[in-house]
Structure 1
Amino acid sequence: MDSSLAQKLVELHSLKTVGEFKAQLQGMADLMGFGRIFYVGAKLLPNEHPGPGSFAEIPLILCDYPSDWVRHYQTNELARIDPVIADSNATRLPFAWNVRDYLKREVSDPQRRLLGDSIDVGVDKGLSIPIYGAGGDYGLITFVSAGSEGDFMSLDPTVLQDCTLVANHFHLTLRSKLGTEFLVQEELKLTGREIEVMKWVAAGKTQDEIADILAVSMHTVKFHIYNAHNKLNVFSTPHAIAKLVYLGVLEPGGITGNKTHRMV
């Protein structure tokens, strides 16, 4: 390992903020010849694989992709159809990818547009390294190639080794320094009334019964449940309840528990 890269690994232990960690990861990627970085870290729900709705806490994402591309990607929820993400989540080994390889396969029209757009913005080939730890701890670091296609395909084994070491050390140090609940300026953002509605749902009450208990319309109850689903990034009420219990917002019995947000 290059001495400059080794020094940056040592410096990780003196960092205190998310911004400092992001800058350090960018610096290490640059030393290894990569152009951009993407990192996601969180705790997975029990027995879940990485993906939408699988996180037990708000994920921390560090990314220096073009802002317009990130906005487009998030607004259209393209992670749900991205074949590179699907393949990265299906392995526990470092995964080298090139979107041009996917264009040679049978993919859907939306996927083909996504892959073409990825090439246009320069997020077209890279190395993704998944990290799995105890208690559902999960991280994924992607180094996006800055060179030509030929340069990337001849990725040196020493670079692969350095990337793997950097990814694991970065994730573990960040988690230990900032805690398992990342210090980012976000909250779960469920309102007190949304928590109250979900409490009664967890207690087995119907929407009609909840409307009577809270003296509101059934439309209002449905509205609060819908908002809770969106904020929790889940697709069913049982999943929402399970996630709230796991997060400590609700007790297993459903009635007690008074947390209205999760500090992150």
Structure 2
Amino acid sequence: MTIEVDTFEFVERCKTHRSTDALLGDLLHTASKVGFEHLIVSGVPAGNEALVPLVELNGWPDGWFQRYVERRYADVDGVCRYSRTAINPFYWQDVPGRLSATASSRLVANEATDFGLMSGYVVPSYSRRHWQALVSFASPEKQLRLSRRQQTAVNLMSMMTIRCVENLRHPEVLEIVLSPREQEVLTWAAMDKTADEIADILRISTATVRKHLQNIRRTYGVSSTLGAVAVAMHRAHIAP
């Protein structure tokens, strides 16, 4: 069976999955045919935003994911940091040296090999829920490289997976609309104004500003105001 057929059948099956576990298992099985054994589907943390609430599908080895979260490796991992601005898919080993060659990033990469994560491939993607989303695949091969057709197939499967997981887990994001006041508050927050400063500008109480920001974070499903700003700008809910 060719990779084109595998991809077409995966896309068709996505329409029938009714759980994220089924979707994850299907993607893992299909991706294994080109050499990947683990993967994660997640939003990309903005600033100091926590990683766990952003993870949509977790196919990482248990011990590695726990370590990655507990030691806040997302803050120093060159792959994760590069994913914040990357537009096109990339291999882990192709992350620019300014990010991958730091002592902290090398430590993360070296520890990942203890869990069989030797090389990988990342597909960044637009997300209705996150300001930036990705699918990161990992292989036990030291220098896995995909053919052009395999890359195209993996890219397509990744984008389809993100759409499907959003439909399964977050159908409500299609209906997200900020109130005019929330848009005002978040616009000023995007300009780095404090809650006290926003209160003075809008002539409302600081407590009201903080309540609006709390509601906005809850609406977007993010843990920080910075994350909310990033999502809102990405979806054009507020002007950049």
Normalising by structure 1, we get a TM-score of 0.59
Q: CA RMSD in A?
A: 3.7
1:167 aligns with 2:179: no
Tell me which structure has the larger Cα radius of gyration. Answer: 1
Q: Distance in 2 between matches of 1:103 and 1:123?
A: 21
Structure with greater proportional helix content: 2
After TM superposition, give the deviation of residue 146 of structure 1 in Å: 3.5
Partner of 2:12: 10
SS at match of 2:56: strand
Q: Distance in 2 between matches of 1:135 and 1:58?
A: 11
SS at match of 2:117: coil
Q: 1:68 aligns with which of 49, 53, 63?
A: 63
Partner of 2:119: 125
Larger deviation: 96-105 or 15-24? 96-105
| C-alpha distance after superposition, 1:210-234 (max 9, x if no partner) | xxxxxxxxxxxxxxxxxxxxxxxxx
Aligned 8 A contact 1:5 1:31 in 2: no
Q: Distance in 1 between matches of 2:79 and 2:27?
A: 21
Seen in structure 2, the aligned counterparts of structure 1 residues 33 and 133 have a Cα distance that, compared at 3 Å, is: same
Aligned 8 A contact 2:10 2:26 in 1: yes
Aligned 8 A contact 2:37 2:138 in 1: yes
Identity of counterpart residues, as a percentage? 15
SS at match of 1:90: coil
Q: Which amino acid aligns with 1:170?
A: T
Aligned 8 A contact 2:40 2:136 in 1: yes
Aligned 8 A contact 1:99 1:125 in 2: no
Partner of 2:23: 21
Paired residues in the alignment total 189
Unaligned runs of 5+ in 2: 174-194, 221-240
Q: Distance in 1 between matches of 2:55 and 2:100?
A: 32
| C-alpha distance after superposition, 1:20-46 (max 9, x if no partner) | 1111111121123212111114xx9xx
Seen in structure 2, the aligned counterparts of structure 1 residues 127 and 68 have a Cα distance that, compared at 3 Å, is: same
Aligned 8 A contact 2:118 2:138 in 1: yes
Unaligned runs of 5+ in 1: 183-197, 206-236, 250-264
